[in-house]
Chains A and B, each alone.
Chain A
Amino acid sequence: MKKPAKEPSTVFETDLRIHPMAHYLRMDRMPHIWCSGCGLGSSMTCFIMGLQESGIDEKRVAVVSGIGCTGRMAGYLNLDSFHTTHGRAIPFATGLTLVNPDLRVVVISGDGDIAAIGGNHLIHAARRNMDMLVLCVNNFTYGMTGGQAGPTTPVSARATTAPYGAFEYPFNLPYLAMASGATYVVRWTALHLRRLKNSIAEALPKRGFRFIEVISPCPTAYAHKNRLGSGLDVMKFYRENSVIKHGADPREADIEFTGKIIVGKFLDIERPTFAELLAETVTAKVGGAR
């Protein structure tokens, strides 16, 4: 065997041995369960980079997940992290944030978890303008259980429980979040790494109910079933079909099967949060101290 021309330097070796994000990851839990070509790895990278950029002390950040592929993200992040029941990340996060207002509470979960089984919690937390950032990774399917149709599956897309094509009207999540009372609503795809990272960095220090949707490829279940190719092919599709429209009316951001995907920051307003209203309208009058 030919010897390498040069011995690697010590610095070079160290860099290779330590993952650049090791500080933020539970390296003892690697390798993760996500498939090759899945958008969750890059979503998690964007979250970590956004967190770094925000300058928030990561010890004061708690991540809450529900169930599903995205739900596993809480377990990989080296932060206080809570992997709860299916659909219930938002109410769990509600309890955490209310008793600990200094804590930055982030919910990271999938479309099935947040919009189907947890849909009621989503709209009510948005209505209350509860202090939390919700990162909803939407891959249009239930990936972990093998590719069933869900509340965001586009019409005519195939799924194991929609073998003749989905025909239900899907949720437009940014529109749902805005209509329910969210104060910050953004959509990117897993291709828009820099923009997603920037949005996370911008949203993390804000108050109120913030909602970021990440359209993400599921090559194993969704793309395969729908002959959309590999994860890379789906990324190419995002590059060719994403339309950045900041300030667009989310009502116009419906997603159709292989149609254009409108992305961007749809909403960024301020409105008193649940905690602020509670303090102003109740605690200030009653004046109790713990």
Chain B
Amino acid sequence: MVGEHFMTGDHACAEGGLAAGCSFFAGYPITPSTEIAERMSERLPQVGGVFIQMEDEIASMNTILGAAWGGWKTMTCTSGPGFSLMMENLGLGLVLETPAVLVNIQRGGPSTGLPTLVGQADMMQARWGSHGDYEVIALCPSSPQELFDLTVRAFNLAEEYRMPVLVMGDESVGHMSEKVVIPPADKLKVVPRNYTKKKPGEYWPYEFGKDEVPEMVKAGDGYRIHVTGLTHDKRGYPIIDAPTQDWMVRHLKNKIIKNRHKIIDVEETNLEDAEVCVVSYGISARVSHRAMELARDAGIKCGMLRLVTAWPFCEEKIRELAQRVKAFVVVEINFGQMSLEVERCACCKCPTYLVPHAGGDIHDPEKVFEAIREAVK
């Protein structure tokens, strides 16, 4: 598939997975992500992989974790209602520290909501949707090309940090057709699984060094591992007490917090002299880009920060910008999710204005432009 294609975002996402070495997909049909599963059902057998359509999204998420412990790179995709069902075993994947990729092509919610129309209201669910304390990595593609690129990156991050990684797309980007360039394999960074070199008896599944990332093994290699969703020690044995809980939860958080500078990715445009900073992601970032151009045409010093990674949040960047801009304008298809993070990190140094949208459509750039104009007044 190397070369230039005119391709939908969903198909580009599937190709990204394949390029990154995904050989196992388990999923359940749900608009607007179904095309990823369809593409995988056609393509995976061609590369010796396995596609399975599960009975629901709970099973899908679980099955990819099982297959990951069998030694394969695995992935699933879904949208709002299915994302809710996957929360249970997203938590299991995070606690078992299992590499996998979960793609959410967001539609309007809550509940069944708007199956065929766009939304971006699962951003906080991505961060907090499974119970308990933990950190996540979530990437936000703004184009079909990025659905390819960021799916590859999601697989790499999953291996680098031994955890499920989220790709938070949206219906507009998923269903949009654009030019997608698939680079040759030697031009693509693909991170292999970090299998331990230790011998059976020397290895523990949750023993880690300074970078907080434990090494992997797979079932059947003679390590006789035990892993559990219960709070566990470095051996993977359940220990039900407060000190072990403290050790494990701190580790799950520190794994991301300590490595955040290697994970966080933002795109800055015209921020050098900016008086107002537009913050956006996914399809909304493209609308915001147009609004920024309108503002610049009107003589407003407007810049833009695009969140390529939503989680971990680019806290330091917002704190730094808050010292020098007059206002933040956050554009997202919800009633304020990532804007809460911007507001928290701006720390009252400057106001944060939200341009909300309930979903079902993308923002009108004129309205975003109006908000920018109001913000600098």
Chain A positions within 8 Å of B, measured between CB atoms, are 26, 28-29, 59-60, 62, 64, 74-75, 78-85, 88, 90-100, 102-103, 120-121, 124, 274, 278, 282-283, 286-290
Q: Knowing A75-B238, A84-B92 are in contact, say whether A95-B220 is a contact too (CB < 8 A).
A: no
- Contact assessment for B63 and A92 in the assembled complex, using a CB-CB cutoff below 8 Å: yes
- 9-residue interface stretch from B43-51, B191-199, B248-256, B354-362: B43-51
Cβ contacts under 8 Å, A98 to chain B: 24, 50, 52, 63, 67, 70
Please pick, from B46, B63, B70, B221, the residue contacting A91 in the complex, using a CB distance under 8 A: B63
Chain B positions within 8 Å of A, measured between CB atoms, are 23-24, 26, 44-50, 52, 54-56, 58-60, 62-72, 74, 88-89, 91-92, 96, 218-230, 237-238
Cβ contacts under 8 Å, B47 to chain A: 288-290
18 intermolecular pairs with C-beta atoms under 8 Å apart = A60-B220, A62-B220, A74-B226, A80-B223, A83-B227, A84-B92, A88-B88, A95-B26, A95-B62, A98-B50, A98-B70, A102-B220, A103-B220, A274-B52, A287-B46, A288-B44, A290-B23, A290-B49
B244 → A minimal CB distance (Å): 14
User: Which of B24, B55, B59, B230 counts the most chain A CB atoms within 10 A?
Assistant: B59
- Contact assessment for B229 and A83 in the assembled complex, using a CB-CB cutoff below 8 Å: yes
Please pick, from B55, B67, B226, the residue contacting A95 in the complex, using a CB distance under 8 A: B67
Cβ contacts under 8 Å, B63 to chain A: 91-92, 94-95, 98
Known A82-B69, A84-B89, A288-B46; further 7 A-B contacts with Cβ < 8 A: A59-B224, A85-B89, A92-B66, A95-B67, A99-B70, A100-B220, A288-B47
- Contact assessment for B223 and A95 in the assembled complex, using a CB-CB cutoff below 8 Å: no
Q: Compute how far the CA of A290 lies from the CA of B21 in the bound complex, rounded to whole angstroms.
A: 10
Cβ contacts under 8 Å, B224 to chain A: 59, 78-81
Q: Knowing A60-B220, A100-B70 are in contact, say whether A88-B58 is a contact too (CB < 8 A).
A: yes
Cβ contacts under 8 Å, B58 to chain A: 88, 91
- Contact assessment for B71 and A100 in the assembled complex, using a CB-CB cutoff below 8 Å: yes
Cβ contacts under 8 Å, B218 to chain A: 100
- Contact assessment for B219 and A120 in the assembled complex, using a CB-CB cutoff below 8 Å: no
Q: Compute how far the CA of A286 lies from the CA of B51 in the bound complex, rounded to whole angstroms.
A: 13
Q: Compute how far the CA of A74 lies from the CA of B67 in the bound complex, rounded to whole angstroms.
A: 18
- Contact assessment for A29 and B237 in the assembled complex, using a CB-CB cutoff below 8 Å: yes
Name the CB-closest residue of B to A76: B226
User: Which of B52, B92, B96, B224 counts the most chain A CB atoms within 10 A?
Assistant: B224
Name the CB-closest residue of A to B238: A75
Q: Compute how far the CA of A90 lies from the CA of B226 in the bound complex, rounded to whole angstroms.
A: 17
Q: Knowing A59-B222, A100-B71 are in contact, say whether A95-B66 is a contact too (CB < 8 A).
A: yes
User: Which of A74, A90, A100 counts the most chain B CB atoms within 10 A?
Assistant: A100
Please pick, from A93, A94, A103, A120, the residue contacting B52 in the complex, using a CB distance under 8 A: A94
Cβ contacts under 8 Å, B238 to chain A: 75, 83
Q: Compute how far the CA of A28 lies from the CA of B71 in the bound complex, rounded to whole angstroms.
A: 27
Main secondary structure of the interface of A (DSSP, over half): helix
Please pick, from B48, B55, B66, B228, the residue contacting A124 in the complex, using a CB distance under 8 A: B55
Closest 6 CB pairs of A and B: A95-B66, A290-B48, A95-B67, A83-B228, A99-B70, A91-B59
Cβ contacts under 8 Å, A120 to chain B: 55-56, 59
B354 → A minimal CB distance (Å): 36
- Contact assessment for B68 and A95 in the assembled complex, using a CB-CB cutoff below 8 Å: yes
- Contact assessment for B45 and A286 in the assembled complex, using a CB-CB cutoff below 8 Å: yes
Please pick, from A75, A96, A278, A286, the residue contacting B226 in the complex, using a CB distance under 8 A: A75
A26 → B minimal CB distance (Å): 7
Q: Compute how far the CA of A282 lies from the CA of B54 in the bound complex, rounded to whole angstroms.
A: 17
Cβ contacts under 8 Å, A100 to chain B: 70-71, 218-220
A243 → B minimal CB distance (Å): 35
B122 → A minimal CB distance (Å): 21
Q: Knowing A26-B226, A80-B224, A81-B226 are in contact, say whether A121-B55 is a contact too (CB < 8 A).
A: yes
Cβ contacts under 8 Å, A93 to chain B: 66
- Contact assessment for B70 and A96 in the assembled complex, using a CB-CB cutoff below 8 Å: yes
A7 → B minimal CB distance (Å): 34
User: Which of B44, B62, B71, B72 counts the most chain A CB atoms within 10 A?
Assistant: B62
Cβ contacts under 8 Å, B69 to chain A: 82, 95-96
- Contact assessment for A288 and B67 in the assembled complex, using a CB-CB cutoff below 8 Å: no
Name the CB-closest residue of A to B229: A85
A70 → B minimal CB distance (Å): 14
- Contact assessment for A85 and B66 in the assembled complex, using a CB-CB cutoff below 8 Å: no
Cβ contacts under 8 Å, A286 to chain B: 45-46
A111 → B minimal CB distance (Å): 19
Cβ contacts under 8 Å, B65 to chain A: 84, 92, 95
Q: Compute how far the CA of A43 lies from the CA of B45 in the bound complex, rounded to whole angstroms.
A: 40
Cβ contacts under 8 Å, B89 to chain A: 84-85, 88
Cβ contacts under 8 Å, B66 to chain A: 64, 82, 91-96
Name the CB-closest residue of A to B60: A91
A228 → B minimal CB distance (Å): 30
- Contact assessment for A95 and B24 in the assembled complex, using a CB-CB cutoff below 8 Å: yes
Cβ contacts under 8 Å, B24 to chain A: 95, 98-99
- Contact assessment for A84 and B52 in the assembled complex, using a CB-CB cutoff below 8 Å: no
- Contact assessment for B92 and A85 in the assembled complex, using a CB-CB cutoff below 8 Å: yes
Cβ contacts under 8 Å, B229 to chain A: 83-85
Cβ contacts under 8 Å, A282 to chain B: 45
Q: Compute how far the CA of A82 lies from the CA of B217 in the bound complex, rounded to whole angstroms.
A: 13
B15 → A minimal CB distance (Å): 15
